[in-house]
A and B are shown apart, each in its own frame.
Chain A
Amino acid sequence: MTDIMIESIEATKTYNPGKHNEVTPVRSASFQIEKGSVAVLSGPSGSGKTTLLSMIGCQVKPSSGEIILDGKRISKLPEKFANEFKREHIGFIFQHFQLIPELSVLDNITLPLLPTGVSRQARQERADLLLSRMDLADRKKFRVKELSGGEQQRVAICRALINGCSLLLADEPTAHLDSQLTSEFIQVMKDLKELGFTIVIASHNAAITDSPIVDQKIEMKDGEILS
């Protein structure tokens, strides 16, 4: 059993190859991230963090090279299988949370389970567990638009965890949060790390990149990994 959760081997992504608008946001990225650790992809805007995170999250296939997640060659998977893998093993936290404001907290959280065939009761049970862990139990029936920014962020985290994943990917999760909420976010990540989650955060926020919970910093510039 390997202790490596993520392995990137010379992963490169080129959009519009051979055309006048060809762009290569990530070039020959090679690194390893251990299980149960917190890694940060840092670097200025446009350095390729989000593209690299998308390749790790099976959202984008590399143009060459390879991404291996928990021993599975995910970049070789056909789309259907990659989607299945993503649905079952990876949780995402987006920059703007991407919640549906008109739906209730419970509906937002259980949404990723709808296509998986998990029963309604099991969906609710899982959601209840996460909501109580995130101190949101009393907000279950609230519409998302009625929540504060910090609460919305915790709902987004609950939604990311609902599929029972072991890998959590967060893309600029604190970009629109104040320092208080950023600290709360870091505390939640710390708790999740203690529970054994592997967490990868793409961020250029110093509060995150310099946080003691971070085990590995992968610095990027112009699509290349500096360290």
Chain B
Amino acid sequence: MMLNAWVLGLVTGQTALLFILTIATANAWGIRKHWDFESISEQQYGLEKRTYLISTIMKFTLMTQLLMLLLLVISADELSRLLPGAMCATGTFGANAYGFPLFWLEVGCFFLFFVWLVMNQLDNKSPIYPLIKEKYSLLITIYPLVGLKLILLVLFATNLNPGVITSCCGSVFSESSSSLGGAIAGISPKIILPIFSGIVFVIGILMIKETVKTFSVSKLFAWVEIIVWSAFFVVAVMTIISFMSTYIYQLPTHKCPFCLLKGEYYSIGIPIYLGLLMATGAGISKGTLRCYQNSQLLGDELVHFHKKLKFLALAGIILFITFGFGPFLLYYHQTGLLI
């Protein structure tokens, strides 16, 4: 399958990213090691020039990489046509042991890229590079993950065998399936809805708390925020599978989280996932920035950025809830029944 156009596109994109990231990481290492903003030496001026170049290249590279997640899912959906048994991206990812780890790693990288871009943007707003060491440390952390992503992608693609029958989303996300997908699909709305509401409530409380107490809350609060937003993502995905999908497909047995993206369901998955990724990315970034709230160097810009991220997270949640619960409300309004 390595010569398939979709696979070639993905591998080329990942290889290009790894190549650029290798150069950037090597430079990031040097910048972190020798950076001394107070110095007026030739070396320091050289580093300042290099950081401008590196951060600009990485900004545009990672912005395009945010779309890589979408490309991976679309590719998997297209590849499902070549795999017997597969009906959508679920079947393709489940065709071998590397598919879902690759997908989840891509999701993880999406959020890391998101946080890096936010940090970079904030750093560039100041004339004194206040987050330079932090943002390059994050870049160095991202590097091995991108390498692993390429390895998994190649393993995934080379192990896709059109001669082997794979499972369709109907069986993977079946309540009778013993897989994780099956277990999630089997969760009763009476359990998942209170959990989802609870976590949205907690997020609401956190937002109100920071509004009331302005920006000066403890560093522990930052970690709480990162954990809560990560949990929100997990719970939201579970809610999509176990509850929302039922009313979008209007079938109690179809729980696939990928089929939502298909045109036959009006691609409703796009606003749902866009809202989810936007809210989670902004929320995690918001928590991360809070770790630097005591930095005098960032000044008002940090507060300003935090407000922007809060707005983005709120808009993401509203988008997610509107399109995620809209079909349920519509169905209930039209039939007066629950599935």
Contact = CB atoms under 8 A, between A and B. Distances in A.
A78 B127 contact: yes
A182 B277 CA distance: 66
Given A78-B48, A78-B52, A79-B52, A64 B40 contact: yes
A10 interface: yes
B265 interface: no
B128 to A, nearest CB: 8
Given A77-B127, A78-B129, A81-B127, A10 B45 contact: no
A65 B45 CA distance: 9
Contact of A61 (B37, B41, B45, B128): B45
A17 B41 CA distance: 14
A36 interface: no
Given A76-B37, A78-B52, A62 B127 contact: no
Interface in B43-65: 45, 48-49, 52
B129 A66 contact: no
A10 B40 CA distance: 9
B129 A75 contact: no
A10 B49 CA distance: 19
B119 to A, nearest CB: 16
B42 A64 contact: yes
Contacts of A63: 42, 45
A9 interface: yes
A10 to B, nearest CB: 7
A63 B127 CA distance: 18
Contacts of B52: 78-79
A78 B124 contact: yes
Residue among A62, A64, A79 facing the most chain B CB atoms (10 A cut-off):
A64
A66 B42 contact: no
A62 B49 CA distance: 11
Contacts of B129: 78
A64 B45 contact: yes
Number of chain B interface residues as a range = 10 to 19
A64 B49 CA distance: 12
Contacts of B40: 9-10, 62, 64-66, 75-76
Interface string A58-70: 0001111110000
B77 to A, nearest CB: 42
Contacts of A61: 45, 49
B40 to A, nearest CB: 4
Interface in B161-211: none
Given A78-B52, A78-B129, A79-B52, A64 B41 contact: yes
Contacts of A64: 40-42, 45
A64 B95 CA distance: 58
Nearest to B40: A66
B129 to A, nearest CB: 7
B48 A62 contact: no
Contacts of B127: 76-78, 81
Nearest to A11: B40
Interface in A102-138: none
Interface in B124-142: 124, 127-129
Nearest to A14: B42
Contacts of B45: 61-64, 75
A10 B41 CA distance: 10
Contacts of B128: 76
A46 B123 CA distance: 39
A172 B293 CA distance: 49
Interface in A43-87: 61-66, 75-81
A12 B41 CA distance: 10
13 contacts: A10-B40, A12-B42, A17-B42, A63-B42, A63-B45, A75-B45, A76-B48, A76-B127, A78-B48, A78-B127, A78-B129, A79-B52, A81-B127
Ranked nearest first, the 6 interchain pairs of A and B with the lowest CB-CB distance are: A81-B127, A64-B42, A66-B40, A77-B127, A63-B42, A64-B41
Given A64-B41, A80-B124, 12 more contacts: A14-B42, A61-B49, A62-B40, A62-B45, A63-B45, A64-B40, A75-B45, A76-B40, A76-B128, A77-B127, A78-B127, A79-B52
